[in-house]
Amino acid sequence: MPTFIPYGRQRIDDDDIRAVVEVLRSDWITTGPAVDRFERLLSETAGAAHAVAVSSGTAALHAAVFALGIGPGDEVIVPAMTFAASANCVVYQGGTPVFCDVLPGTLCVDPEDAARRITPRTKALVAVDFAGQPCDYGRLRALAREGGLALVADACHSLGAEYGGKRAGSLGDLNAFSFHPVKNITTGEGGAVLTDDAESARRMRCFRNHGIDTDQRERAERGTWYYEMRALGYNYRITDFQCALGASQLAKLPAWLGRRREIARRYDRAFADEPAVKPLDSAPGVLHAYHLYVVRVDAGGAGAGRAAFFSALRERGIGVNVHYLPVHLHPYYRRRYGTGPGLCPVAEAAYERILSLPLHPGMSDADVERVIGAVRGAREEFTAGRRRGA
């Protein structure tokens, strides 16, 4: 039985473990100096003035929506092709997510469709750097400026990516990263918001700590017990040992991105003349972080639809996945907002065909060849009629 190759997986080396253990033996295991250090390293990596580390990418998005002061009656435009958290963060604060469509080639937000969904109530636009490829920030910035909207970058896929020479984490007004194990670096669970705006950063530090104006360490340093809760916040703090892991992982990000891009290039070459699948486009002028490698199954060329092709690859030990069911098709959104098919036709059509192939820096060349061989093997099995593809 061949080993299973997951679509994404963390890499934890001995030096990562040493860094975590060192902090576990120290005085501060949460809200301590390792959090500050990780935030400093993140802001250097992303080229943004402030980083606020939190307990997940979802918490990062929620903090961003809070910092913008979004509430009941406010609309936020969110692309349909994303993880549900990109829209949920708006709902948490009582705002209304308004779904917009994506571009068929990249599955990033379609700026023209986003423009059509702006109303007098629109306060912000969430840009999702789908699969690790930055959106068209030139167009989105112009749109945000004209409409007086805030631009939130859901950069959970794109740590290490660049657009027009600027790094992910500095492309939106507020930029959210996730450090879940499948993302480009991990802290187990974790996330961060990056911004150049000092006031937003201050608000988010308060938000991650129940809305309280000082943290435990600041009070210890000042020799006081007194604090005030100024807004309704949450416990979205991240621990020092998670941040120690994150800092250690961040040092390896350039090498890991190099490996991700190398694997993507190998797939690109192999699939250029493969009739079963068509990779997503990569736009000119961007440096792609390749969190995901997404292809569209061509039912004609593959001799099978996506569902049958998915099963054939899984049987071969290839951990293919589907990213994502468009958010407006989830039962929660259908029920609560009356969304449904027809709202974002490009995302809906893409959903029927997409498949994420394994891509992570721990994959060997042999693993990559196994994925390519499995795609060919499955296509041959279907087209030769040895297996039914319907």
Q: Which residues in this chain contact ligand PLP in the complex, by CB under 6 A?
A: 56-58, 82-83, 85-86, 128, 154, 156-157, 178, 180, 191
**CB closer to ligand PLP, 68 vs 378:** 68
- Per DSSP, the three-state class of 243 is helix
Cβ proximity of 371 and 319 under 8 Å: no
Query: Of these residues, 123, 183, 252, 278, which one is catalytic?
Result: 183
CB of 176 to ligand PLP, least distance (A): 7
275 token code pair: 């009739």
CB of 213 to ligand PLP, least distance (A): 26
**CB closer to ligand PLP, 302 vs 359:** 359
d(CA 162, CA 182): 20
| Residue of closest CB approach to ligand PLP | 57
**CB closer to ligand PLP, 242 vs 339:** 242
Half-sphere exposure of 75 (CA within 13 A, CB side): 15
**CB closer to ligand PLP, 80 vs 270:** 80
Helices (H) and strands (E) in the chain, counts: 15, 13
d(CA 114, CA 354): 22
d(CA 203, CA 199): 6
Q: N- to C-terminal Cα distance for the chain?
A: 26
- Per DSSP, the three-state class of 354 is strand
- Name the one residue in this structure whose structure tokens are 């805030």: 150
**CB closer to ligand PLP, 12 vs 311:** 12
CB of 316 to ligand PLP, least distance (A): 26
Backbone angles phi, psi at 22, to 5 degrees: -60, -45
| CA-angle at 125, arms to 121 and 127, nearest 5° | 165
d(CA 61, CA 128): 11
**Nearest residue to 52 (alpha-carbon basis) of 70, 69, 66, 36:** 36
d(CA 196, CA 319): 39
Task: Give the type of residue at 19.
Answer: A
CB of 87 to ligand PLP, least distance (A): 10
85, 325, 338 from 331: Cα distances, Å: 15, 11, 9
**CB closer to ligand PLP, 188 vs 303:** 188
**CB closer to ligand PLP, 56 vs 209:** 56
Query: Bridge partners of 318?
Result: 5
CB of 390 to ligand PLP, least distance (A): 32
**Nearest residue to 374 (alpha-carbon basis) of 320, 313, 322:** 313
Catalytic site residue 183? Answer: yes
Question: Which residues are marked as active site?
Answer: 183
